Amino acid sequence: MEILIIALPLIASIISGFFGKFLGDRNSEIITSLLVSIAALLSLFIFYQVIFNQYSDNIVIAKWISSGSLDVNWSMKIDPLSSIMLVVVTFISSLVHIYSIGYMSHDPHKPRFMAYLSLFTFAMLMLVTSDNFIQLFFGWEGVGLCSYFLIGFWFKKDTANAAAIKAFLVNRVGDFGFALGIFLIFYLFGTVNYDEVFERIPTLIDKKLIFLGIKINAIDLISLLLFVGAMGKSAQIFLHTWLPDAMEGPTPVSALIHAATMVTAGIFLVVRCSPIYEYSELALNVITIVGFSTAFFAATVALVQTDIKKIIAYSTCSQLGYMFFATGVGAYNIAMFHLFTHAFFKALLFLGAGSVIHAFKDEQNIEKMGAVWKKLPYTYILMLIGTLALTGFPFLSGFYSKDAIIEFAYLRDNTAGYYAAGIGIFTAVLTSIYSWRLLFKTFHGEYKNENIKIDETHESPIVMLIPLILLSVGAIFSGFFFKDLFIEVWNENNFWQNSIFFLEPLSTDHPPSWFLMLTPTLVMLSIPLSYYLFVKNKNLPEQIVNINKPLHNFLVNKWYFDEFYDVIFVKSSKSFGLFLWKFFDLKVIDGFGPDGVSSVIKKFSLKAKKIQSGFIYHYAFVMLLGFSALLTFLIVK
């Protein structure tokens, strides 16, 4: 049964990809959606077994590599951590498959799209069920490849092709660090299997290595190299630039890749490797700093974006920052809790945005929307639920998980933890403001689209609304029902068993009451503030922008990361390439090679041609001169 969870999406991908032309669009959509939905139901059963029966297993599917000390299997590791990821990946993927039936109804290449979705699901499942770093890397690269296919699905658009290439290249930077980390693990331990590596980690506490001329602790180096891979896949600051551009793909792709699956792979990696990270205080501090920096950076940029999908994309980036600084302060279980709840409300927002885009005939600019909450009542209500959950409104899913992250950061009782808690609170306020800005500008105020009449906007079909309704249930209740399951780690029968390692137990203290009330209070106060700014007094934001024009430009240009990378890497590489081409290739290689030798030979042959007169006495005369010269040389010698 467990193997079916992995096999069904692969079978669905093969059927739709290779036989979709013969089956037809509708049959391909039904088959892929059905098989992935069955995998989701099986994953829910496994999750139930893990919760109530403490079920765990490591199923070896096949031998893969056996060479010297390297012994790697294709396997399926079932434990609490992988069971959560199985539910998240298959559940969100199945809903995205169903949603795509309606959203992609006018696309001429539906079987190919469904095949890519199913193949992506298979690669992600291979990643989360691995029991070794090689299989993990296989799934890691598999989702990267599928993201390239999906982001560039509309390959006739230049922007889609550019976004796909950008995502692929930026992830290669992170993957290079990840690969080095795996090589180092094998070099030090002679194995890449999780259990064997984690068991031997304490033996390396005092081992030092020289890396790039720097003496560094071996565990710190392993942790940092693995984290570089996590930064790329989970779009953390400096390696985040691919994420907003990836919105060029169809909206279901955004929901699948950027809400619940691929971008969470970095979080999964760090949590899975908690037995390594717990021995590296340096790496944990770096993760904390990168996490809260990303959360703050992405939230500030989201404040001024006008593309509905890019606002949600930067929100994803920001929420991933929360998850990372949760792992940085040692609260791995809380990071997974937020990953779990975030999957529901962020997929809900992405698919809700797709419903809005569908109603506005592919318009994505929120400045060209407004006043359609009565025309799109179901989409409006569902996106309202997603917004409340994202902002951490009391008693919805985001309230429990996000506030738990801030509280545990505060209880870490060190400088990095206090900074993370403070920035986490401020970022929560920014999150609330940009989320309500999106909702108010999209559904309230005046209708501002000049190309589409308001009467032409319409609610999405039922096949698109059903996935939204199911996700809204998770957005409302997943935090309340699962908070104790995820947070409780202090007793012997806790849910996590041995899938997360804590070198020191998490604090059981409670923050002060004022601290507990601070974030929810600020979040609720931001609602009337946002309403006043974006609905009642629409001139005030423009006045604020005019007063702070440099800051506004700084945020609109996304802190100039793209421009900086363009100057440092793109233009410099292009200039260096042109120099090599024009100087070394044309002048040196061609000049001394084909052009130089061939031109000399050609000139020599033209001169020699004149000697070939055809008269015997000319040839006799030349032979006589040659013989005389040879005779003279011999006599003189």
pLDDT in tens, 369-390: 988 898 899 999 999 999 999 9
What is the pLDDT, as a whole number, of residue 505?
76
Backbone phi and psi for residue 393, each to the nearest 5 degrees, phi listed first: -65, 140
Specify whether the CB–CB gap between 431 and 315 falls below 8 A: yes
Residue 235: name the closest of 161, 323, 303 by CA.
323
The pLDDT-based confidence of 260 (bands split at 50, 70, 90) is low
What is the pLDDT, as a whole number, of residue 30?
94
Ordered DSSP codes for 261-280 = SGGGHHHHHHHHTHHHHTT-
* Measured CA angle at 125 (ends 122, 129), to 5 deg: 145
What is the pLDDT, as a whole number, of residue 543?
81
Looking at every residue in the chain, the average pLDDT score rounds to 89
pLDDT above 90 (res 603): no
Q: Which of 85-99, 535-549, 573-587, 597-611 has the lowest mean pLDDT?
A: 597-611
What is the pLDDT, as a whole number, of residue 206?
85
Cβ neighbours of 323 (radius 10 Å):
32
Separation of alpha carbons 322 and 318, rounded Å: 7
Three-state secondary-structure class, residue 538: coil
Q: Rounded mean pLDDT of 441-453?
A: 87
pLDDT above 70 (res 259): no
Separation of alpha carbons 171 and 169, rounded Å: 5
pLDDT above 90 (res 580): no
Q: Rounded mean pLDDT of 71-97?
A: 93
pLDDT exceeding 90 applies to what percent of the chain? 58
Q: Rounded mean pLDDT of 11-35?
A: 92
pLDDT above 70 (res 60): yes
pLDDT above 70 (res 490): no
The pLDDT-based confidence of 2 (bands split at 50, 70, 90) is confident
The answer, as to whether pTM is greater than 0.85, is: yes
Specify whether the CB–CB gap between 288 and 371 falls below 8 A: no
User: In terms of C-beta density within 10 A (0-12 exposed, 13-18 middle, 19 or more buried), how is residue 539 classed?
Assistant: exposed
Which helix (H) or strand (E) segment holds residue 569: the answer is none
pLDDT above 80 (res 606): no
Q: Rounded mean pLDDT of 426-448?
A: 92
For the record, the structure tokens of 341 come out as 């709840």
Q: How many Cα atoms occupy the beta-carbon half-sphere of 582 within 13 Å?
A: 6
Q: What's the CA dihedral at 437, 442, 445, 448 to 10 degrees? A: 120
Separation of alpha carbons 544 and 431, rounded Å: 19
| Residue 456 or residue 321, greater confidence | 321
Ordered DSSP codes for 117-164 = HHHHHHHHHHHHT-SBHHHHHHHHHHHHHHHHHHHTSSTTSHHHHHHH
Q: Which of 1-10, 260-269, 532-541, 558-567 has the lowest mean pLDDT?
A: 532-541
The pLDDT-based confidence of 85 (bands split at 50, 70, 90) is very high
The pLDDT-based confidence of 229 (bands split at 50, 70, 90) is very high
Ordered DSSP codes for 332-369 = HHHHHHHHHHHHHHHHHHHHHHHHHHHHTTT--BGGG-
Q: Rounded mean pLDDT of 496-522?
A: 86
| Residue 480 or residue 605, greater confidence | 480
What is the pLDDT, as a whole number, of residue 39?
96
Q: What is the pLDDT of residues 512-529, one digit of tens each?
A: 889 889 999 999 999 999
pLDDT above 70 (res 296): yes
Cβ neighbours of 336 (radius 10 Å):
27
Q: Rounded mean pLDDT of 205-224?
A: 90
The type of residue at 187 is Y
Q: Rounded mean pLDDT of 132-158?
A: 91
Report the Cα 369 to chain-centroid distance in Å: 29
Q: What is the pLDDT of residues 327-373, one digit of tens each?
A: 999 899 999 999 999 999 999 999 999 999 988 888 889 988 988 89
Q: How far is CA 247 from CA 251, 254, 350, 460, in A?
A: 7, 6, 10, 20
What is the 8-class DSSP label of residue 381?
H
Report the Cα 466 to chain-centroid distance in Å: 26
Backbone phi and psi for residue 620, each to the nearest 5 degrees, phi listed first: -65, -40
The pLDDT-based confidence of 411 (bands split at 50, 70, 90) is confident
The pLDDT-based confidence of 69 (bands split at 50, 70, 90) is confident
Separation of alpha carbons 185 and 191, rounded Å: 7
Q: Rounded mean pLDDT of 271-299?
A: 94
pLDDT above 70 (res 500): yes
pLDDT above 80 (res 56): yes
For the record, the structure tokens of 616 come out as 């015997």
* Structure-token match 């809400």, residue found: 259
Q: Rounded mean pLDDT of 177-200?
A: 93
What is the 8-class DSSP label of residue 259?
I
